[in-house]
Amino acid sequence: MLNVAIIMGRLTAEPELKSTGSGIAVCTFRVAVDRRFKGQNEERQTDFINVVAWRQTAEFVSRYFRKGSMIAVQGAIQVRNYEDKNGNRREAVEIVADNVSFTGNKSETGGYQREDIPLPPAPPEQRRGDAQPAPAYSTAGAADFDEIAGDDDLPF
């Protein structure tokens, strides 16, 4: 079985970040996605698709995306059943986001800068100061390689 959804469009409102009772971040938002085709003499139709993101993805969306931002979402379609305030049985269809990406130009995405994105904490060995330096790489010359006599053993 396969359940994969990929959409790209604009946020219709500010993303809404909340936390569950156990402190897990959850962000809900709606994306306006134009349909690929339109009939003759018709305006292009737009679908409004609900999306939910969890944990780090939820925090990322709420921090870097705003109403009108272009966004690409990859995830899975989920159908939930629930009961509304009046006791009526309802159904909600949404995409549970696995990955989200910037798709607009820099001005559309709020002009974020690389230094605005926090870096993860250094591993413990680097914080103590006993980390090994990163290896240095240089370009190699033809003399640095051995010639392979025959290609009979190659898998391609």
> 114 pLDDT band (50/70/90 cuts)?
very low
- Comparing 52 with 135, the larger pLDDT belongs to 52
φ and ψ at residue 115, rounded to 5 degrees: -70, -15
Report, as an integer, the average pLDDT of 140-144.
Answer: 66
Tokens representing 101 are 């990406």
Contact 59, 70 (CB under 8 A): no
The C-alpha R_g of the chain, in whole angstroms, comes to: 24
Report, as an integer, the average pLDDT of 64-92.
Answer: 94
- Cα dihedral across residues 138, 139, 144, 150: positive or negative: positive
Of 95, 46, 60, nearest to 75 by C-alpha is 95
Tokens representing 64 are 């870097």
The DSSP bridge pattern shows strands 89-102 and 25-34 to be unpaired
For residue 143, pLDDT over 90 is answered with no
Strand partners, 25: 19
Report, as an integer, the average pLDDT of 102-110.
Answer: 66
Note the pLDDT of residue 33: 95
Please name the helix (run of DSSP H) or strand (run of DSSP E) that holds residue 80, with its range, or none.
Answer: strand 70-83
- Which CATH class, in words, describes the domain spanning 1-37+44-109? mainly beta
Note the pLDDT of residue 41: 78
> 115 pLDDT band (50/70/90 cuts)?
very low
Which sequence spans correspond to the domains of the chain? 1-37+44-109
Name the amino acid, one letter, at 23.
G
Q: Is the pTM of this model over 0.85?
A: no
Please name the helix (run of DSSP H) or strand (run of DSSP E) that holds residue 48, with its range, or none.
Answer: strand 46-54
From 72-81, 129-138, 142-151, the region with the lowest mean pLDDT: 129-138
Note the pLDDT of residue 149: 65
